[in-house]
Structure 1
């Protein structure tokens, strides 16, 4: 299905009936990865998931989007398509979780005026905590800035206008290297926003589902979120990584089903 939000063509899925459950995917991902979770949840819920701007089959934004811009996008999407739904349950993976944390805390604190309330939240291997850099990472960052400064001041750009772009690809993450210039800027803004200050304001019941082998958003992040969010509970799936819902769908759905009371 498709809709238009702020001039962008947005691809989304709408299945099932019941209370509205909205799923937000992670960085570099898309709604197709939620297929198994959607198939399970739609037995008891009206499930909606959208490819956010710059991902999947949705259009890329003309300008970089920070977390607040994605929060605003989600609100506009819901207001346009589901204005009658006054309660919305959210499930977010990775960056999708970061967006939900910012949205829920904003509504709870009164910073965000929304047409709906959020009764429950599910965060799966969620982003939101800025990792502490290792010494090796600090040295790598230092080398990057050294080479960047050299390229900018040496006149190399006149010979090779793409030199900075090549450097950024070399030193950046796989997600960064794969992204367009607009989405790279979006990624930098997203990963550098610390959501820890907002977590105590997420007072809804929150189910945290984490893979104990997750290296992108390690289990320690989930443990910290459990401490900071007043009504959060952490469920750990052993032997899986950042995509716990794909790596052990049976156990993931059992945990989710218990929290949302989804019939088997």
Structure 2
């Protein structure tokens, strides 16, 4: 299904009946990896999932967005769907949006429970190797932006940028790369986690390298009503790597009885 919000075409699905669950995917992802979990939960709940602006089949925003811009968009989506209360499930960047959403002072709907899977939101100090790589990239970008270089080699800057940075950065369009930089440079201080009041389930793959287990351990300590479940033999996409186990853990948290 499609809906237009602030002149942006948004692709979303709604399956099942009952209490509402809203699912938010990670950066560079979309609805599709959530399909097995949606199928499972829609037997007991009304499940909404959407391709956030710039991902999947949804259009890009007109400008580079910050995390706050995505949070405001999510609020508008919830209002368009006439959702008054919901359980929120977020993976990676979707989890970071939920963390900021939960601290929103004028939230027009109630958050019943929160499930964060390999959530983003914690930025670790950069290593010397990372700092050197960033410095090298900035110097290269500065050089290739010189007018003479752009005249002689018009595609050099784009080729250089497409080969630099993370996989998410390289795969993004020029506009979404700008958004990506804004998002990864934002740091959530401890207050965002201590402000979370709903009961929160943290699910982490023990082999997650994108958002390491130490991040989940930190969230468990700082969120007042949180429990962490570590899943063996699973990475960042824990809900795909060990789907059966993750489904059972979520069932227990939501008191689902088959």
Matches within 5 A, 1:180-259: 180-197=173-190, 198-259=192-253
Q: In 1, distance between residues paired with 2:3 and 2:142?
A: 44
Q: CA deviation at 1:61?
A: 1.5
TM-score (structure 2 length as normaliser): 0.95
Q: In 1, distance between residues paired with 2:212 and 2:154?
A: 38
Q: Helix, strand or coil: the match of 2:110?
A: coil
Match of 2:99 among 98, 101, 111: 101
Counterpart residue number, 2:32: 32
Q: CA deviation at 1:81?
A: 1.6
Moved over 6 A (4+): none
* Cα shift readout 1:69-98 (whole Å, capped 9, x = no counterpart): 11111111111122xx32111000000001
- Structure 1, unaligned runs of 5 or more: none
Name which of structure 1's ranges 190-199 and 160-169 shifts more when overlaid on structure 2: 160-169
* Cα shift readout 1:159-208 (whole Å, capped 9, x = no counterpart): 12333322222221111111101111111111111123311111221100
Q: CA deviation at 1:141?
A: 1.2
Q: CA deviation at 1:239?
A: 1.0
Is this contact kept in 2: 1:199–1:225, CA < 8 A?
Answer: yes
* Aligned-residue RMSD, C-alpha: 1.4
Matches within 5 A, 1:149-164: 149-153=142-146, 155-164=148-157
Name which of structure 1's ranges 125-134 and 44-53 shifts more when overlaid on structure 2: 125-134
Q: In 2, distance between residues paired with 1:139 and 1:146?
A: 11
Counterpart residue number, 1:18: 18
Counterpart residue number, 1:68: 68
Q: CA deviation at 1:153?
A: 4.6
Q: CA deviation at 1:121?
A: 0.3
Q: CA deviation at 1:154?
A: 7.5
Q: Helix, strand or coil: the match of 2:170?
A: helix
Q: CA deviation at 1:32?
A: 1.2
Q: Helix, strand or coil: the match of 2:103?
A: helix
Q: In 1, distance between residues paired with 2:52 and 2:244?
A: 27
Q: In 2, distance between residues paired with 1:77 and 1:212?
A: 33
| Number of positions where the alignment pairs a residue of Structure 1 with one of Structure 2 | 257
TM-score (structure 1 length as normaliser): 0.93
Q: CA deviation at 1:158?
A: 2.2
